[in-house]
Each structure stands twice: as structure tokens, then as C-alpha cells.
A and B are shown apart, each in its own frame.
Chain A
Amino acid sequence: MSQAEKLKQGQFTNPETPGYVGFANLPNQVHRKSVKKGFEFTLMVVGESGLGKSTLINSLFLTDLYPERIIPGAAEKIERTVQIEASTVEIEERGVKLRLTVVDTPGYGDAINSQDCFSTIIAYIDDQFERYLHDESGLNRRHIVDNRVHCCFYFISPLGHGLKPLDVQFMKAIHNKVNVVPVIAKADTLTLRERERLKRRILDEIDEHGIKIYHLPDAESDEDEDFKEQTRILKASIPFAVVGSNQQIEAKGKKVRGRLYPWGVVEVENPEHNDFLKLRTMLITHMQDLQEVTQDLHYENFRSERLKRGGRLSSHGYILPLSPATVVHMKTQHLS
């Protein structure tokens, strides 16, 4: 520990700013613990088949989440109901561990009659909340795994003129349960102008139907200008129009990830071509905030509702709210 000792000498025997106590080091302590603990994040992707959801997830996290993909034929798809598939991957970078769970929803919007396709998804989200509530109220809370869905990317098809009725219905059904981030998929089918128009249209329709999508928190007044600028740009680009790809193409003498067309190369990480980088920045920079909103808003709503309802909790025991009598009893019992 000689380096630490050396540092210690340098730090403490030299005259410090008088009055320096040292608890400004507290965020570093928190940092160190978080690095050790790592993070958990659950991302749900919802959208029709063929919108490039899996490719996008692979591109975002530079992994291959679905190594063996079998795309079912049309005949199978007719009868398919929506399934929930969750895959977990652990990403480590510079010592920081992220346990990422991606929840995929194959079969969404595939059936001829898509009336029912979101009930499975909503049941899944509720189930995760229920499990967390269950764990949180249990006796052994040391190893609670947080599988609640922190963010939902909703993929909008670029082919229409805005939101489809299914899109509206679905988003309205889940906007109170999870953070919804609308994403325009396969954005390379649109020219820039068409993209702007579609974005504006989608935002208008979102307003019109009262859908609450996830709003990026405003940058605080004491942040540096770069960060404020970045936040402004991000907010202005919602919904993000993205292109996903994991193939490396040679373009202008360097290798880029992109899609090769006879008329040119669409570069995934080129901000002029699409909003992929912005989406990734938003996700990473606001991962913490997404988790907090899930915990403080969506989960607390769920919990209040659940406790008010009372009754059976997923085949185990009961959780009932503390009645005023119980509270009084706890008080008297304690102070006697």
C-alpha cells in the first residue's frame, strides 16, 4: 500500500485548505461501492416483426444477444401469440459491470387479429413489479434482484404516416407502468425531410392521445454547457429515428458499421445519417434516471394500488396495508 501511504503523506501533512473536513470525498466512496456492485438494467423492446429490434439491440450494446435466430415462416406466425423472451448479458467495461436484460416480445402485432397482443406484455410488467414487491416485503432482503422493466423501446414503423391504432392503444396501456421511448425503426427508408415530418406527426399524435412518453430531465443550471447542449439536442430529436446494423462495411477508407446499398452506405454511427448515437447516449446517460423514475413513480404507483387492493399476493402469503390500529399497536408495544 505504499502508494496510498505516499498519497496519505502528501495529502495530510501538507497544509490543506483550512477548514477542509473531507466529506467531499463521499461521492467517491459511493462511486467505489457502485463499481463493485455493478448495475442492473432491464430493457423491453416492443414492435412488429421485421422492424429491426434485435439488430438494434445487438448494435446498441455491441453484443450478439440472439446467436441462433430462426425466423418463423408466415404460416407459423398466424397462430402465434405474443411471447416474452428475456435474455441477460453481462457487460463489463473499465471495471464497471452492467447486467443487462433485454425482454423481447416476438409475435407482437403478427396475428391477423391483434386485439389481444398486449395483455401478455402488461401481465409481464405487472408480474415483475409484483415479484419485486414480494421480495421487498420479505425477510431476507440482501439479494433482491431487480427485474422490473426500466425502459421500453417502442418501435414505430416508418412506412405509415404516423402512429397506427395499435401503437396508440399499446402506448396508452403501458405509459403508466413503464418508461416508454418511441423509436422510429429502419429510418433509412426515409429522406431527411420525410423523417422530420414523421417525427412531428408522431409527436402531435402522442400529444393528441395523451400518451406519456419518457421525458429527459432538463439539465441542471450548474451543468457545463456541453451537457446542456447535449440534453437540448436529445430532447429535440425524440422520437429517435434509428438504423441498426452489425455488419462492417468499408467506407471512405475505414471500416464502419452500416448497411451497404448500391447508392451508398448508411452508417449506423453517423449522426447525420440517423439518431443511433443519440439513442445510445440517451440510454447510457439516463440509465440511472430511467431506473429512478421506474422506482419512484411507476413502482410506487403499483405498490400503492396493490396495497390498497390487498388480497392474495401471487400464491404466497398476504400483504395487507398497515391499518391505523396496527400502527398504534406498534407504537405502544414499542414504548412499553
Chain B
Amino acid sequence: MLFLYFCVFLFRCSFISSSLSRVWLVRPGPAAFFLPASRMSNVCANDHDDDLEGILSDFEDTQQGLEPQVQMEESEVEKIDEIPCTSNSSLEDHTRDHGFFGYVGIEAVLDQMRHKAMKTGFEFNVMVVGQSGLGKSTLMNTLFKSKVSRKSCTPDYEEKIHKTVHLQSVSHVIEEKGVKMKLTIIDTPGFGDQINNENCWDPIEKYINVQYEEYLKEELSINRKRRIPDTRVHCCVYFLPPSGHWLRPIDVEFMKRLGKIVNIVPVIAKADTLTIEERLEFRDRIKRDLEAYEISVYPQKEYDQDVEDQILNDKIREKIPFAVVGTDKEHQVNGNKILGRKTKWGIIEVENVAHCEFSDLRDLLIRSHLQDLKDITHNIHYETYRVRRLNEIKMNGIGLSPLMLVNSGSEKDDAGNHV
């Protein structure tokens, strides 16, 4: 009896043995935001039915497909035809016994991974840089729909211009649908506010490098933690004032230097001062300036992994920099509560794509490219830093026990076949 139940469970977990050969068509699973339709497999739709309501019909079909099979196995009556599997259970790589088709169930590994990922939670560190008064803190609050900026956190906050740039970071743990995220927002008051703004990017550069250093130290130590706490800056949102003209020298300097060590996402702040045409012109000029000065902003062309990514990212690159408006006030529009800024001449709806590009920014940062931001920080920026540091240590030959490099010059073939 228990075994029968066990059977039922196994098959519900889409774990069909070879005796039930069926044509398993690969259905292009439901698409996530910003993703081309074919990417996600059916399995992942299972957990997030809330935010994928319109798309569940696809998955439901598959579910139906699974249920009758259970009955089949139990009654053992049906005659099974041998139908070859489609190309996706690809068997080209290895020889097989004749007429031997089946399904191993590797997807279950992905389920486990997702489950673990949800349990352990995520860390995300964002830095906001820009002159005072550009709406940085408000934008962060709007992005995460909670009071996460430093202004909301300090009890008696006063607006004043700081004499030097100093960085303040505020951390929160926010949770949504079972997914926990430790969000850290690093604010940079005092940037670009002085009369003489030379080298105002130095404290920021130093901060970012210090985070890399901390991570590197932990990674190199003998008894390192299982999960190294990640305080590295994953994304730096740079606020451009809506002058409507071109990039200022301070913008160019900052983005040039920091673009090499961190992912920069430039945004046009307080975009409600520009009309749509002015916005487009401004954006074109900024894009031209970025190219002329060879500034690399996220998503960087060189890190596109395959054609799909490239197509996706090209679309995003068209829209950079996003023209955003931030607010945390709600108003009634047509019976719905909408985030917006109310003026005498109308209400600027923040989440309306016709009004401003806040939604695009949010989708980029959070819904579709959050993991990508982290990956690029870890795999590229951090590695670049690490290589530089390890070379420095090696060349200086410090102290009592040098940490010398292994295999620093040798070639490694990509297959890396060690067996």
C-alpha cells in the first residue's frame, strides 16, 4: 500500500520510468519578464503560480498529461507502444541498447537548487551615487517599496551638505513570497556637492575595493566560512541631473573610473522636468558621449554569453540611461491606487511606461538581471581585482610567508580534462 503511494508520488514528480514510453514534447515553458519564450522549463512554473497566473495554462496542460499516466501504471492494462523520445532527451552522445528509451529525471536537481537558494536567501548591495537633491533615496524607497534608504532610517534627519564624501550603508532583510533578501543600500552624500569636486570619487573607489579585499581575505584564509558574507557592491546606480545637454566632466570621470570595477547603471534623475522629445535627445547625446569616452556601463557588451543574451541586452542598451521619477506617495487614478507625483497639470504615474522608465529600471535591476549583476560582479570584477592583488603580493614578496601564485603563467585548455 505504501509502495503504491510511493509509486504515485514518484510519477507525480515527473519521474517516469522507461516502461511508460510516451512522447515528451518539450513545451516552451512560461516566459519570465524580459526573457524569450523558450527559456524556462515546465518545472519552475510550479512554485511561482502567483506571479505567473496568465501563463499557467501551459503548465496545466502538462500536469494533465502527467495524471492519467499514473492510473496507467497502476492498472497495468494499457498496451504500451514504443515511441522514440524527441531530441531533447538527447541520446546522441552515447550508445544505447536497442529500443531502450526512458527518462532519468535530471530536472529534479534544479528543484533542489531552487529550494536551497530560497532557503539560504540572497544578498544584494546597491550603491547610489549622485549630487544631493536628485532623488536617490526616494528612488530606492520606490524600487523596493519599503523605506530602505538612510533618510527613512535615521530618526532625526536633517538635510545638509556634507563637507566630504562619506559613505553610509543601511541594510534590511526584505521578504517576498518566501524569498528572503538582505538588501544593502550604500549612499554617498557629499558627492559632487562641493565647489572643488576633484577626486570626490576616491572614497567610493576605495570603499568598493575594500569590500573586494574583505572577500578575498576570507576566501584565502585556512578556515573559511561556508558562505562568505558578500558585501561587494553589485550595482552602482549613477544619477545624472536632467540638464538635457550632455554628460558633465564629473560624470565622465566617475563613470570611466568606476566602470572598470563595478557595474554602473546610469539613470536620468527627476525626469519629469524633460519632455519626451527632450528625453530622447538627451539620451542620444549621453549614449554618444559614453561611446566617445569608452565608458562601459551595465550591461557590458563583452560579457554577453550567447546570442540570446546579446539580443536581450541589446534591447536594454537601447534604453540606457533610464529616465526615472521616484516617489512614495500614492494617489487615486481611475479608482486605482497609483504611485505618482501630483501636480496642477496632471499626475505623473511612476509605474506607467508612457510617463517614465521606472518600471524598466526596476525590471532590469530586480526582476530579470539581479542574478546577472551579482554574477558579473563575482566572476569578472572580483576576479580582476583578485588577479591584480595576487600579482601585487607576489611581486612584493611580503613578509614571512609569501602567498605565491600557482600556475600563474601556464595555459589551461578549456576542457580542463583532469581525468
Docked pose: A10 CA to B32 CA in angstroms? 12
Partner of B104, one of A3, A61, A138: A61
- Given known A-B contacts A140-B412, A330-B393, A62 and B18 have beta carbons under 8 A apart: yes
Q: Does B344 have its Cβ within 8 Å of any Cβ on chain A? A: no
**Residue of B6, B13, B305, B359 with highest tally of chain A CB at under 10 A:** B6
Q: Does B17 contact A (CB under 8 A)?
A: yes
| A139 on the B face (CB < 8 A) | yes
- CB-CB < 8 A to A140: which residues of B? 412
Instruction: Tell me what chain B mostly uses at the interface: helix, strand, loop, or mixed.
Output: loop
Do A29 and B26 touch across chains, with their CB atoms under 8 A apart? no
A30 and B408 CA atoms in complex are apart in Å by 31
A327 within 8 A of B: yes
Specify which chain B residues have a CB less than 8 angstroms from the CB of A317 in the assembled complex: 404-408
Q: Are the CB atoms of A138 and B40 closer together than 8 Å?
A: no
Interface flags for A140-165 (1: CB within 8 Å of B; 0: not) read 11111101000000000000000000
Interchain CB contact under 8 A, A323 and B400: yes
Chain A residues closer than 8 Å to B9, beta-carbon distance? 226, 229-230
- A-side contacts of B400, CB under 8 Å: 323, 325-326
B414 touches A94 (CB 8 A): no
A35 interface neighbour in B6, B110, B336, Cβ under 8 Å: B110
Query: By the criterion CB–CB under 8 Å, are A138 and B406 in contact?
Result: yes
Q: Whole-angstrom distance between the alpha carbons of A329 and B55 in the complex?
A: 56
Chain A contact residue count (CB 8 A cutoff)? 114
- Chain B 105-118 per-residue mask, 1 if CB under 8 angstroms from chain A, else 0: 11111101110111
A141 to B382, CA, bound (A): 11
Instruction: Kindly list chain B residues whose C-beta atoms are within 8 Å of the C-beta of A28.
Output: 32, 40, 44, 48, 114
By the criterion CB–CB under 8 Å, are B109 and A96 in contact? Answer: yes
Measured in the bound complex, the distance between the Cα atoms of B30 and A32 in whole Å is 12
- Is there an interface contact between A30 and B34, defined as CB atoms closer than 8 Å? no
Q: Nearest Cβ in chain B — how far from A43, in angstroms?
A: 13
Query: Once the chains are docked, how many angstroms separate the CA of A26 from the CA of B106?
Result: 21
- Write out the residue numbers on chain B whose beta carbons fall within 8 Å of the beta carbon of A83: none
Give the distance in Å from the alpha carbon of A144 to the alpha carbon of B404 in the complex: 19
Give the shortest distance, in Å, between B53 (CB) and chain A (any CB): 9
Q: Which residue from chain A places its CB closest to the CB of B96 in the assembled complex? A: A64
The answer for the CA separation of A95 and B43 in the assembled complex, in Å, is: 12
* Chain A proximity mask over B245-279: 1 for CB below 8 Å, otherwise 0: 00000000000000000000000000000000000
Residues in A whose Cβ lies below 8 Å from that of B174 = 21, 23
Q: Would you give the 0/1 interface string for A24-39, flagging 1 where the beta carbon is closer than 8 Å to chain B?
A: 1111111111111001
Interface of A toward B, CB cutoff 8 Å: 1, 3-4, 7-8, 10-12, 15, 18-36, 39, 60-65, 67, 86, 88-96, 98, 101, 103, 128, 131, 134-135, 137-145, 147, 220, 226, 229-230, 233, 246-248, 252-257, 269, 271-272, 277, 280-281, 284-289, 292, 296, 300, 303-304, 307-308, 310, 313, 316-323, 325-327, 329-330, 333-335
